[in-house]
Structure 1
Amino acid sequence: MSSIGDIILSTHLLKRIRARFGSAHIAMLTHMRFGELHGALPGIDASFSFPRGMLAKSKITRTLRRENFDTIIDLQNNVVTRRLCASLRAKRVFRFRRSRWNRWQRIHLKFRRKTLLIPPHVAAGYLDSVSDIGVSDDNKGLQLNIADSWRETINNRLSKHHSEAGLSATHPLLIISPSAAHETKSLPVSRWTELLKLLKSAGYLYQVLIGGISDKARCDEISQHLDYPVLNTAGQTSLHEIIALIQTGALLITGDSGPMHIASAVGTPLIAFFGPTVPEFGFAPFRCKHKLFEIKDLNCRPCTAHGSAKCPLGHFRCMNDINLDDVLDAVKGFIPVSGDGN
């Protein structure tokens, strides 16, 4: 699997396979970038990373063939995974059928939007792909396992900031994820800055920015425009620690991104902004407490399947038109706080 979101959405399937086949040997193959995530996945006995480069790919294919898998579940269902499945010669291969045609029509045939069926959520679709072998839904959500050592590292970091910033124990922890895989899938920096200041004025003083190394510059820019202390962890935490940090928070505020699915899996309520993409693609928060913000009456939405570097029309109204006062009201709905934060 080739994205954090896809991997986390598969956890519903993983735990249900384990429930159905308690003694089975279950292995997971993901892109090498996300190997660190394997330790948080439920129900697996082994994990493998799919590398770059022809020689490395040939080597992992030989390694997987020696495992003698009798059943493969192909959740990506693309040219690369189909070729790999053929090489492994498993007795049974189940494939997730992506709603690519439905998604294409939503993007390119605007007049058909109101008549198109809404496909199942991707996490539910993953599970349905193996219904023929008796894997059933438990009507619960996603799951990530969190090691005590990850929590300890995060708690130490938060305790230090808590003391330095002079925050009381009653301040709720807001986790802010201002980045996404593509620029248009999140609010602009100026709007994030405006939102965080608005939250601070309402008493939400305990704010933590999260992100990977590639998100550090964006988070740095946001924090530099704030006149009060925030904890900027971007580029300074492992993926394991980000998971623990999100689980520790009272609320996550994010775009359509991997952290959104992490929050879904660890039980943290979330607020998410959808701009160029729409929940009807099947990637909305799954079976968790959440509030989505989107400008539904924009004729240009959705404009892309995965987001882009910039708005194709230049106005970026899908994010710029989101009312931040409404966002503040939603935050208050999740975690009421008085004006002084006590």
Structure 2
Amino acid sequence: MKILVIRFSSMGDIIYTTPVVRCLKKQIPGAEVHFLTKPAFKYIYDNNPYVDKLLLLKPTLSATIQEIKAENYDYIIDLHNNLRTTLIKLRTGIHSSTYKKQAVKKWLSLKFKLKLIPPVHLVDRYLKTVKFLGVINDNQPIDYYIKAEHQLSELLPASHQKGYIAFVIGATHFTKRMPNDKITSICRQLNRPVVLLGGNDVKSNGDIIATAIGPSVYNACGITSLDESVFLVSQAKSIIGFDTGLTHIAEAFNKPIVSIWGGTVPDLLGVQPYMVKDVLVTGIEISCRPCSKFGLEKCPLGHFKCMNDIVDDDIVNFSNK
């Protein structure tokens, strides 16, 4: 049996497809499993032993469809469910099963602050698409494979090499990130050195936090590559992070994780930490939250209480265990 699994974006959503691919490969005898995504997300499936071939979205949809037709798939598992995947299914005529986004319920939940979406993880929602093949959840974590050999001695100062907390301070949107002073306050109370992780977009934030605290905080934002950042997460004693890709990737290593939520909420997206033994999911209940599904560039009401009013104690106590 030859199966194509499709998910184009984003990082977190693709990370949560890995249990589906693994279960297909391991539970269907002789299955050949291919995965189609955007070139920007190729790294998520690099080195993954459960994917026989990785296809990348071409500049034109027609070229992608021609490649799909040439592979003679038995099934398409559509985990994206958008216009492009609909056209792919129509124009190839391949038997398919499609992830149900529950878009109307999500919109109503967001607009009217209703709880219409059952608290079912995205992985379990994805796995419903392969139930017809007899595939079931193996209850194992997500998969992520570090691409190269790295050494802590090459990435961190000596003061941090014997144990540290990784704090992922980056996130695509402002309303997913804690203000610098809140992060600084938390870091001051941690009993281990801290490594700040994120991209160039939060490097200056990391500099402000590290300068305010001193040498116990090392700012790796914008310095380490993604693969190096994942390695640092995998070696950390524990992780603190927001609703962002690197925090989700950290789940592959089953380390204690504090998952902090501001303007977005995990139940709506179904992306709370998956199959991690030791987890703290934190966020405050206020009438204006969630203000968006994926995050905004500023707080719509200006007060940003969903992050500013989070109490440090639970985060600190969990991380200091």
TM (norm. structure 1) is: 0.84
Q: Distance in 1 between matches of 2:35 and 2:171?
A: 25
- Cα 1:213–1:71, aligned 2, differ >3 Å: closer, same or farther? farther
- 1:177 Cα deviation from its structure 2 partner: 0.5
Map of 2:99 onto structure 1: 96
**1:132 aligned partner, one-letter code:** F
Q: Does 1:26 align with 2:33?
A: yes
Q: Is the 8 A contact 2:153 2:161 kept in 1?
A: no
**Gap regions ≥5 residues in structure 1:** 337-342
TM (norm. structure 2) is: 0.90
Q: Is the 8 A contact 1:42 1:143 kept in 2?
A: no
> Which one has the bigger helix percentage?
1
- Cα 1:213–1:97, aligned 2, differ >3 Å: closer, same or farther? same
Deviation >6 Å, runs of 4+: none
Map of 2:4 onto structure 1: none
Map of 1:173 onto structure 2: 164
Percent of paired sites with the same residue: 30
- Cα 1:6–1:40, aligned 2, differ >3 Å: closer, same or farther? farther
* Cα shift readout 1:223-259 (whole Å, capped 9, x = no counterpart): 3333225332222333322222211111110011112
RMSD: 2.0
Q: Does 1:290 align with 2:279?
A: yes
Map of 2:77 onto structure 1: 73
**1:107 aligned partner, one-letter code:** L
2:291 pairs with 293, 298, 303, which one? 303
Q: Secondary structure at the match of 1:208?
A: strand
Residues 1-342 of structure 1 mapped to structure 2, 5 A cutoff: 1-51=8-58, 55-90=59-94, 92-110=95-113, 112-113=114-115, 116=116, 118-147=118-147, 150=148, 152-158=149-155, 161-162=157-158, 165=159, 169=162, 172-199=163-190, 203-204=191-192, 206-281=193-268, 282-288=270-276, 289-296=278-285, 298-332=286-320, 336=321
Q: Secondary structure at the match of 1:328?
A: helix
**1:331 aligned partner, one-letter code:** S
**1:303 aligned partner, one-letter code:** C
- 1:291 Cα deviation from its structure 2 partner: 0.2
Q: Is the 8 A contact 1:177 1:253 kept in 2?
A: yes
Deviates most, 98-107 or 59-68: 59-68
- Tell me the number of residue pairs that the alignment of Structure 1 and Structure 2 aligns: 312
- Cα 1:57–1:213, aligned 2, differ >3 Å: closer, same or farther? farther
Q: Secondary structure at the match of 1:141?
A: coil
Q: Is the 8 A contact 1:10 1:123 kept in 2?
A: yes
**Gap regions ≥5 residues in structure 2:** 1-7
